Amino acid sequence: MKSLEKIYREAGAYLEGHFLLSSGKHSQFYLQSAKVLEDPKIAGLLADELAKMIQLSDIKVDTVCSPALGGILAGYELARALGVRFIFTERVDKVMTLRRGFEVSEGENILICEDIITTGGSALEAARAVELQGANITAFAALANRGFCKRSGSDHNQKSECKLPENLPFFALDDFIFEIYDADNCPLCKDGSKAYKPGSRSN
Ligand code: ZN
């Protein structure tokens, strides 16, 4: 397989500019996974690679669960590659919830899948939502890791911003590590440009 960065760049999913992230911080780069996953063949290929890593471990997975909306495509493809069931959680009045008739049985082994893990906040909320129904969370996965959490097999250490539990494995295809800045200490702002929200223009 080509490098994940090459796949993102070729899909126009590795954006360069001056971005205002949902955390309020600024960055020169932004990953738009939906642009990679718009090609089902590439989505399938990436999910197959991720599934191989998971199958090589001893992790039990009965079901893949993703937080809506961002994680759904990656999670669905991963579930297909693993041959297991797929469900998703969504926010209702800001609370991550299991809806649409999805049910979880007591002790069901669930892997939580995102497109990209930054601090893992939404993934952790999805995990808590299915744990409330009796699920046993066995692992976390994402296509890419933004470098705050430690993915299995990577030399990079976990940073304090990471919210994923350290005792569970986190599988991702690669690390995408780039600087993010506080709004009042951003070199791009100092150069005179203005940060904008990804998706608010042509991206
Ligand atoms: Zn800035």
Q: Could you tell me the mean pLDDT of each successive run of 10 residues in the chain, 203 residues long?
A: 92 94 89 95 97 96 96 98 98 95 97 95 97 98 94 90 94 93 95 88 50
Ligand 1 centre distance from Cα of residue 121 (Å): 23
Question: What region, left, alpha or beta, does residue 49 occupy, with left being phi > 0 and alpha being psi -120 to 50 degrees?
Answer: alpha
Ligand 1 centre distance from Cα of residue 26 (Å): 5
Ligand 1 centre distance from Cα of residue 14 (Å): 18
**Ion ligand 1 residue ranges (Cβ < 5 Å):** 26, 186, 188-189, 195
Provide the β-strand partners of residue 130.
Answer: none
Ligand 1 centre distance from Cα of residue 168 (Å): 35
Strands 109-117 and 95-98: unpaired
Ligand 1 centre distance from Cα of residue 16 (Å): 13
Per-residue pLDDT at 200? 64
Where do we find the tokens 């993934």?
123
Contacts 24+ apart (CB under 8 A), 121-128: 121/163, 122/67, 122/70, 122/71, 122/96, 123/67, 123/71, 123/163, 123/164, 124/163, 124/164, 124/165, 125/67, 125/89, 125/96, 126/65, 126/66, 126/67, 126/71, 126/88, 126/89, 126/96, 127/65, 128/96
Ligand 1 centre distance from Cα of residue 83 (Å): 43
Ligand 1 centre distance from Cα of residue 126 (Å): 31
Per-residue pLDDT at 203? 44
